[in-house]
Structure 1
Amino acid sequence: MSAAPVRHRPSGLAFALASALAFGGAGVFARPLLDAGMDPLQVTWLRLAGAALLLSPIAVRHRRVLTRRPLLILAYGVFPMAGVQALYFAAIARIPVGIALLIEFLGPVLVLLWLRTVRRTRVSPAAAIGVILAVAGLGLLLEVWAGMRLDVIGVALALGAAAGQAAYFLLSDRTGDDADPLAVIAFGSITATVLLLPLARPWNLDRGLLAASMDLGPLPVPGWALALWLGLVCTAIAYFTGIAAVRRLSPQIAGGVAYLEVVTAIVLAWVLLGEALTPVQIAGAVVIVAGAFIAQTAVPGTPEPPAATPTEPDDRPAALT
């Protein structure tokens, strides 16, 4: 049994912001590879395989985690890592990207429902309001009404991705002293890499793309450097800081703050790729930030250590032992 996580707002917010920056940059750094003709699932596989390779020494060092927490390792690789990626890409093949992303980011809402109905845990009103605001802001940011088209299977796939995202928050809160977060990410990425192998078919990858120079905004960057950044920063560091944030903020509150990932992605695309924001999108970003701010207020402040109280001298005779 792992010890209950200690909640700590300042460090939790710092980790959450770092995770949002790392996750949010994935689309921007993957864009040159996609524009060069690489299949989206192959880019995803490269991202996970890169993380697995970089974290393999940690996996070897913490190999006992496989026997201590095998179900946690398997679940982390299946749901948050492989499941979200595969289901999301399957969804966008049938429904517009904005709709799929909005449905996927219902994950924090599912977290709230799970905690309230299954675990019978009290959900803070601030956390619930923050998540609701973030979902509304996400709808504005993505301007989902511009591509409304209902496909039952596509919606179901996107909801599967949302369930995988909810599992990410819930499972991250279950890591403890007996399961080092980096070890969980290492084995999770290895599991996801193996699971996505038949879908991504990396043996068909044009390896010349990794050696070619690509444009990241005004900067020429080799393809292998983009793949390395995706594996190290957008996967290994993103998941590690994400787990740290969840354990310090709680799953429902971290879910609200995690919507900053979408804001980060849009802003980075604006700065690096020149993708301008519309006034409605700017309003949506503001609403998301407001929702994240409200959600994080539900974390109790760091308690002050109790002041030492002077003890009165005891004049009673000591008891005989």
Structure 2
Amino acid sequence: MLSNRGAVVLTTALAPAVWGTTYLVTTELLPPGRPLLAALARALPAGIVLVALTRRLPSGQWWWRSLVLGTLNIGAFFALLFIGAYRLPGGVAATIGALQPLLAAGLATGLLGERMTLRTTLAGLAGVLGVGLLVLRATARLDALGLAAAVGSALVMATGVVLSKRWRSPAPLLATTGWQLVAGGLVLLPVTLLVEGPPPATITTANLAGYAYLTVVGAMLAYPLWFRGIGALPTTGVTFLALLSPVVATALGWLVLGQSLTPLQAVGAVIVLAALVIAQLKPAQRRQPLVEV
């Protein structure tokens, strides 16, 4: 039987696995060229529903903390991710995003007092290598603004995870998740209107199904699992699980869309999964020295 910690790891891993499926949903069901609208549709409606269900609003310092966390985990993260994906090949953006576990480990050392071990560092570097092999292409071109945005998206997400760990909400999990989704959606709203304009005049049944999937599965299901994992697991263990997204996205592209999978990509997937497993191992306890009486 799974231990309680193992069960939490598996349920937390469902969140990035679900986010890996959103690439397929976005490309196959949603209007083209509207990634920010997809992010907005995922965050804001889900947040409103969760707040309505829990009937709980922030109080005191949690008004501004919800805004900060919602901006970091959702609003600024998706905006920067969009800029990076728009100006860089997807493989480059995903590889830079794989730096998130190392960034989170560094921030956790300063803000949470967690120790950054050699094993964490090596697993983080292996994760970047694995994602690079999985998604990076030799024809990839670099862009300074795109690189800055991709690094920024990894940094704000890592900061959001660490601060979510540091700031423990007194409210139920679903309420806290709703606050962040609403805050992140409100941050995304003016950016979406400015960059992409108003929503398309015509919305098909497939579009509605895609948006419903993003709202219900991609946000209302995935984010509570993610934030629960942040509260229950070590910071680095949680952030390494985010590397599952490109693995799931690549696997679905191969299984559903018939995209080719090279041997190097398969090796990259194995390296990523190995890094995930290593990052979840508990550090060995040091033996206490014998005291002579």
Q: Give 2:222's aligned residue.
A: 238
How far apart are 1:106 and its partner, in Å? Answer: 1.3
1:70 to 44, 63, 66: 63
Evaluate the alpha carbon distance shift between residue 184 and residue 151 of structure 1 in structure 2; reply closer, same or farther with a 3 A threshold: same
| 2:273 equivalent to 1:295 | no
Q: Give 1:16's aligned residue.
A: 12
**Residues 269-313 of structure 1: CA deviation (Å, up to 9, x unaligned):** 322332232211111111000000100012689xxxxxxxxxxxx
Structure 1 stretches (4+) deviating beyond 4 angstroms? Answer: 117-120
How far apart are 1:19 and its partner, in Å? Answer: 1.3
Distance 1:73 1:188 in 2: 5
Letter in 1 for 2:50: L
Q: Which runs of 5 or more structure 2 residues have no equivalent in the other structure?
A: 286-293
Q: Give 2:288's aligned residue.
A: none
Q: Give 1:55's aligned residue.
A: 50
**Residues 12-50 of structure 1: CA deviation (Å, up to 9, x unaligned):** 21222211222211111111244x435221122111223
| 2:114 equivalent to 1:121 | yes
Evaluate the alpha carbon distance shift between residue 14 and residue 153 of structure 1 in structure 2; reply closer, same or farther with a 3 A threshold: same
Q: Which has the larger radius of gyration?
A: 1
Q: Give 1:132's aligned residue.
A: 125
Q: Which runs of 5 or more structure 1 residues have no equivalent in the other structure?
A: 1-6, 214-221, 302-321
Select the structure that is richer in helix: 2
C-alpha contact 1:9 1:300 (8 A) present in aligned 2: no
1:263 to 247, 250, 256: 247
| 2:26 equivalent to 1:30 | yes
Structure 2 length as normaliser, TM-score?
A: 0.86
Letter in 2 for 1:28: L
Evaluate the alpha carbon distance shift between residue 128 and residue 225 of structure 1 in structure 2; reply closer, same or farther with a 3 A threshold: same
- In the comparison of the two structures, how many residue pairs are matched? 281
Distance 1:176 1:31 in 2: 36
1:84-99 aligned at under 5 Å gives the runs 84-99=77-92
Evaluate the alpha carbon distance shift between residue 52 and residue 143 of structure 1 in structure 2; reply closer, same or farther with a 3 A threshold: same
| 2:43 equivalent to 1:43 | no
Letter in 2 for 1:173: K
Identity %: 26
Q: Give 2:101's aligned residue.
A: 108
